[in-house]
Chain A
Amino acid sequence: MKEAPGDRKEPFVGVGLRPVHYPHLLGRPRLAVKWFETISENSMDSEGRPLEVVLKMREEYPIALHGVSMSIGGVEGPRPGYLARLKTLADRVQPFLMTDHLCFTGAHASNVHDLLPLPYTEEAIATVARNVGKAQDVLKRQIALENVSSYLTYRESVMPEWEFLVAVARRAGCRILLDVNNAYVSAMNHGFAPETYLDAVPAELVAQIHLGGYTDTGKFLFDTHSRAPTDPVWELYRRVIGRMPETPVLIEWDEDIPEWAGLEAQAVTAAKIAEEERGRQPA
């Protein structure tokens, strides 16, 4: 198994591992990407093809496990058995990072399979912190939580999203998966400056950066992961990566997924920007 380098002298850019690219990747081509991210739930309860491919790719690449169903912000916490199964998967894959979303995904046994935003309140911070504690105890490792795109805000929120995100990470003792696209989408939807958001997140808390594409519906920005990052998102990424040049970066693409070359080209762009920003750092 190849481990993620501790001292990253080059940009560490990866992409999401998706079935449409399995045939190409299993041919063991030379790749510009340095690592892969895989959706945890696709392999947690299955001995099928996705797990087989993850384990095969893991022989040559570092892999991060990215969950969508931990429901870390749910008052009921992760569902019984979820963390134990995730731990079993982690023991097999040996990921360099485990992440999920700062949200909840259901309530009272009903699962809506969506990343529902939380109100930015003290109770929500305490709830997430309690659940993160349980998760990290079972998983025996620190996790990172991703800021989600949102299409509504709660009137009961008492702080802006970025304060909530940082407070959760500090209180819970976890790290942040900073999705630059999500920050942009939420900023445009809710009318704040994305720069304010991103500048407020301390570099030492960020374990990974996500980049993806949204759809402009005309009424709101929708986080569809169906296209390449847009120019404003690339510009924000440049601003972020300049502050944290060694942070792993991931290109996410889940709908209308292009051929491998198209996806890899986005990773190359992300690496190039990271390299340029490294060049600007004082020696």
Chain B
Amino acid sequence: MADSPLEAVQRRFVRSITFLNDPEFVAGVSGGGKLTAEEAVDVYRRGYPARLTEALGETFEACWRVLGDEAFFAAARDYIARTPSLSYNLSDYGATFPEFLESRPDAEDAPFIGDLARFEWAYKEMFHAQPHEPLAPEVLAAKARPDAVLRFGAAARILVFPHRVYGLWRRDRANDAPLKPSDWEGAERLILYKRTGTSVFVRSLAAPEHEALAALRSGRPLQEALSSVEGLTADDVKDLFVFLSEAGVVTEVR
């Protein structure tokens, strides 16, 4: 079925903004002020990448800092040209930006850039996440029997990266010393969580801690999960439970 006049004009306007000026659309409008019709369409056309670049810059601030203005804006421009915004929420834009950054020549000098971007995306998602109702520490302690299964809240996420990106993310903005491979080499394991309110917390995990938390999160019973982890000492287990209690990441014990 043919478009109605309104549908046609809306489709052409959006196409002129996101792709190329549609001559039929330009012919159907008059520019305001001293603008020609084409210049008037360009006012809207210029605003689109500017808003999406701003959104990418907000979410991937550390990547921007690491890459510098020129490389980051070039990456944003190329990404925006091939990735339309599908959500009404600007904050949703950029889900595939980490992989895009990774695929660019800039990644040769910054092999961690994809991981850093994935960390920033995860952090943004945690910032917007609904806080969960944590289990009270005394209830967790009373119910933590060997066969207990812990359920983690939605506002807790365990991450593992091939590169150490948390330090890069936290790096002082005023520190403009060049990055060295020792700044990013080595795997990184993290848990992101909300305690109460809206603040997002990040804790680095040792490999055994990460393995234990991942096993618990997967639904394995307490004793089975902990005993499966090589190198996890009794003190580590104690520390882990202190953390789980204080961080409030467990919402239920079955």
A28 beta carbon closer than 8 Å to chain B: no
**C-alpha gap A127/B86 in the complex (Å):** 22
Stretch from B38-46, B64-72, B140-148, B206-214 at the A interface: B38-46
Do B198 and A52 touch across chains, with their CB atoms under 8 A apart?
A: yes
Given contacts A47-B198, A151-B44, A156-B9, contact A75 B33 (CB under 8 A): no
Report chain A residues within 8 Å CB of B131: 47
Residue-wise interface mask of A (93-129) relative to B, using a CB-CB cutoff of 8 A (1 in contact, 0 not):
0000000000011111111111010110101100100
Check B43–A151 contact: CB distance below 8 A: yes
Known: A45-B91, A48-B127, A123-B6. Contact between A153 and B29, CB under 8 A?
yes
Q: Would B129 and A82 count as touching, CB distance under 8 A?
A: no
Bound state CA distance, A124 and B7, in angstroms? 10
The stretch from A196-204, A219-227, A267-275 touching chain B is A219-227
Binds A, one of B12-20, B181-189, B215-223, B228-236: B12-20
Q: How many of B's residues come within 8 Å of A, CB to CB?
A: 45
Expressed in whole angstroms, the minimum distance between the Cβ of B132 and any Cβ of chain A is: 10
Residues of B within 8 A of A121 (CB): 5-6
> Which A residues touch B88, using CB under 8 A?
41, 69, 71, 79, 82, 105-106, 111
The reply to whether B30 and A107 form a contact with Cβ atoms under 8 Å apart is: no
Contact A114 B17 (CB under 8 A): yes
Q: Kindly state the separation between the CA atoms of A220 and B39 in the bound complex, as whole angstroms.
A: 11
A155 proximal to B (CB < 8 A): yes
The binding surface of chain B is classed by DSSP as: helix
Q: Is B128 an interface residue (CB 8 A)?
A: yes
Q: Is A20 an interface residue (CB 8 A)?
A: no
Contacts of A154 in B (CB 8 A): 9, 28-29
Cβ contacts under 8 Å, B128 to chain A: 45-48
Beyond A48-B198, A104-B10, A111-B86, is A152–B41 a contact (Cβ under 8 Å)? yes
Residues from chain B with a CB closer than 8 A to the CB of A75 are 4, 6-7, 10
Contacts of A44 in B (CB 8 A): 89
Stretch at the interface among A4-12, A171-179, A185-193: A185-193
Structural contact, B35 and A151, CB atoms closer than 8 A: yes
User: CA A219 – CA B127 in complex, angstroms?
Assistant: 42
Report the minimum CB–CB distance from B128 to chain A (whole Å): 4
Contact A156 B33 (CB under 8 A): no
Q: Does chain A have a CB within 8 A of B167?
A: no
Of the listed stretches B47-55, B112-120, B239-247, name the one at the interface; the rest are far from the partner chain.
Answer: B47-55
Q: How many residues of A contact B (CB 8 A)?
A: 50
Q: Are the C-beta atoms of B130 and A47 separated by less than 8 Å? A: yes
Task: State whether B10 touches A151 (Cβ < 8 A).
Answer: no
- B168 in the interface (beta carbon within 8 A): no
CA distance A158 to B88 in the complex (A): 30
Does chain B have a CB within 8 A of A245? no
B156 CB to closest chain A CB (Å) equals: 14
If A74-B10, A112-B85, A123-B6 touch, whether A219 touches B129 (CB-CB below 8 Å) is no
Q: Once bound together, how far apart are the Cα atoms of A116 and B90, in whole Å?
A: 16
Q: Which residues of A contact B5 (CB under 8 A)?
A: 119, 121, 123, 156
Most buried by A among B11, B86, B88: B88
A188 to B13, CA, bound (A): 23
Q: Which residues of A contact B197 (CB under 8 A)?
A: 52
4 residue pairs, one from A and one from B, having the closest CB atoms:
A220-B33, A189-B32, A69-B88, A152-B40
Known: A113-B85, A118-B6. 18 other contacts (CB 8 A): A46-B128, A75-B6, A106-B14, A107-B7, A107-B10, A108-B11, A110-B18, A112-B14, A112-B85, A152-B31, A152-B40, A152-B43, A153-B29, A156-B9, A156-B28, A218-B34, A219-B34, A221-B33
Q: What is the interface of chain B, defined by CB distance below 8 A to chain A?
A: 4-7, 9-11, 13-14, 17-18, 28-35, 37, 39-41, 43-44, 47-48, 51-52, 84-92, 127-131, 197-198
- Cβ contacts A to B, 10 pairs, < 8 Å: A45-B128, A48-B128, A52-B197, A82-B88, A104-B10, A107-B10, A111-B85, A119-B6, A151-B43, A189-B33
